[in-house]
């Protein structure tokens, strides 16, 4: 039975969420459709471009993304600090970059609100916009509706493009965040569409590697992307997870590469004794880490975290039990 979104997304529980959208009937509406022979791969560029626009407008950070032929994955972080720091003018500008203007707000900007009632109403609207700009449901709505309209216009048809509402999982700690990010970034590798991270098109890991290579290269040819890069959440190298991803970018590259090689049966032995240092820092069972990343897509759990955190969620929400406690117990050392 579907759960109300406000029971799944709460900034008091965590700012990090895994969100996923799938094409209706699981059809390859963003790739090569074997049934019709049509190639819709250009729609992946639409999704990345729209994601870039939304990342610039919303106070929601994109930690990871992967766009596949019939679905996409996102790891998002609600940036409450950024939302509070925005001036009313910033909020208005960001909102109007996405939506049509508001007559009263236009008057407010131009100093044409002469009564206290008008000014109070304008401030009320701005406060509502500020709240929406940090709302994952609004973020996903703006992404899915835009792509659906473009695709339906291209196909000259009407109807659903996405399979119901988007799926979401609350990521309660850094282990959950990193395992989900790695799972998302490894989607093309797991699907045998790519042999390595560098060639994993339409993923955040490819974008991060390209940007990193361009920074450290000296006089080399600049790699060009199929789409303008999405503004991605940064790695804070030790800060609290509420402020950003608390590891270095190199640590993450090493973890993603090691995990990708390990879950490919033909390369398992190659890296068996090259376990990255970040694994021990995370305090997790190596074997269970690999199983967690491999099986992540099958998980229907609304919350991902330690046994203690899941039990705390039960207490707060009034639930007697949450799926995932047994697997969580096995993951943490």
Joined tokens for residue 53: 């626009």
219 pLDDT more than 70 = no
Q: Is 219 left (phi over 0), alpha (psi -120 to 50) or beta?
A: left
pLDDT band of residue 223 (cuts 50, 70, 90) is very low
| Top-confidence residue, 224 or 275 | 275
Q: What confidence tens digit (pLDDT) does each residue in 85-129 have?
A: 999 999 999 999 999 888 999 999 998 988 999 999 999 999 999
290 pLDDT more than 90 = no
222 pLDDT more than 60 = no
**CA-wise closest residue to 166 among 189, 151, 185, 147:** 147
Share of the chain above pLDDT 90, in %: 53
268 pLDDT more than 60 = no
Share of the chain above pLDDT 70, in %: 86
CA–chain centroid gap for 173, Å, is 15
| Domain spans in the chain, listed from the N-terminal domain onward | 18-83+134-331, 87-132
Joined tokens for residue 313: 């969620």
Q: What confidence tens digit (pLDDT) does each residue in 4-43 have?
A: 555 668 787 899 999 999 999 778 889 987 777 889 999 9
Q: To the nearest whole number, what is the mean pLDDT of the chain?
A: 85
The rounded distance, in Å, linking the Cα atoms of 165 and 189 is: 26
273 pLDDT more than 70 = no
pLDDT band of residue 183 (cuts 50, 70, 90) is very high
Q: Which pLDDT score is estimated for 333? A: 46
2 pLDDT more than 90 = no
Please work out, in degrees rounded to the nearest 5, the angle formed at the alpha carbon of residue 169 by the alpha carbons of 92 and 291: 140
Q: Which pLDDT score is estimated for 250? A: 93
225 pLDDT more than 60 = no
Mean pLDDT of 237-252: 85
SS3 244: coil
Q: Which pLDDT score is estimated for 221? A: 45
Pairing of strands 167-171, 303-304: parallel
Joined tokens for residue 139: 């973020």
Q: Which pLDDT score is estimated for 154? A: 93
CA–chain centroid gap for 203, Å, is 11
Q: Comparing 78-92, 121-135, 257-271, 297-311, which segment has the lowest mean pLDDT?
A: 257-271
Domain 18-83+134-331, CATH: 3.30.70.1290
Mean pLDDT of 214-225: 53
- Do 22 and 162 meet the contact criterion of CB atoms below 8 Å apart? yes
Q: Which pLDDT score is estimated for 292? A: 80
pLDDT band of residue 331 (cuts 50, 70, 90) is low
């Amino acid at each position: 039975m579907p759960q109300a979104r406000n029971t799944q997304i709460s900034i008091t529980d965590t700012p990090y969420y895994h969100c996923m959208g799938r094409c209706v009937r699981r059809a390859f509406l963003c790739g090569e459709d074997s049934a019709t022979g049509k190639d819709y791969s250009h729609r992946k560029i639409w999704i990345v471009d729209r994601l870039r626009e939304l990342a610039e407008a919303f106070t929601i950070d994109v930690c990871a993304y992967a766009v596949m032929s019939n679905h996409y994955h996102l790891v998002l972080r609600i940036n409450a600090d950024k939302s509070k720091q925005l001036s009313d003018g910033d909020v208005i500008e960001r909102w109007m970059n996405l939506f049509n203007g508001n007559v009263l707000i236009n008057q407010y900007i131009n100093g044409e609100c002469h009564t206290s009632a008008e000014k109070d109403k304008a401030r009320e609207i701005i406060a509502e916009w500020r709240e929406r700009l940090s709302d994952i449901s609004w973020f996903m709505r703006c992404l899915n509706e835009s792509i659906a309209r473009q695709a339906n216009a291209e196909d000259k048809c009407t109807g659903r493009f996405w399979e119901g509402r988007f799926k979401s999982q609350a990521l309660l700690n850094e282990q959950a965040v990193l395992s989900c990010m790695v799972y998302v970034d490894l989607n093309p590798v797991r699907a045998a569409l790519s042999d390595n991270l560098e060639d994993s098109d339409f993923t955040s890991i490819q974008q991060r590697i390209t940007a990193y290579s361009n920074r450290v290269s000296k006089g080399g040819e600049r790699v060009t992307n199929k789409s303008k890069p999405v503004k991605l959440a940064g790695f804070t190298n030790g800060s609290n997870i509420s402020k950003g991803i608390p590891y270095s970018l190199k640590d993450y590259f090493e973890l993603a590469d090691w995990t990708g090689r390990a879950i490919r049966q033909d390369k398992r032995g190659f890296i068996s004794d090259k376990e990255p240092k970040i694994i021990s820092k995370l305090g997790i069972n190596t074997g269970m880490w690999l199983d967690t990343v491999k099986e992540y897509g099958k998980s229907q759990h609304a919350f991902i975290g330690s046994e203690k955190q899941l039990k705390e969620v039960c207490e707060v929400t009034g639930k007697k039990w949450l799926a995932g406690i047994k697997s969580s117990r096995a993951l943490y050392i």
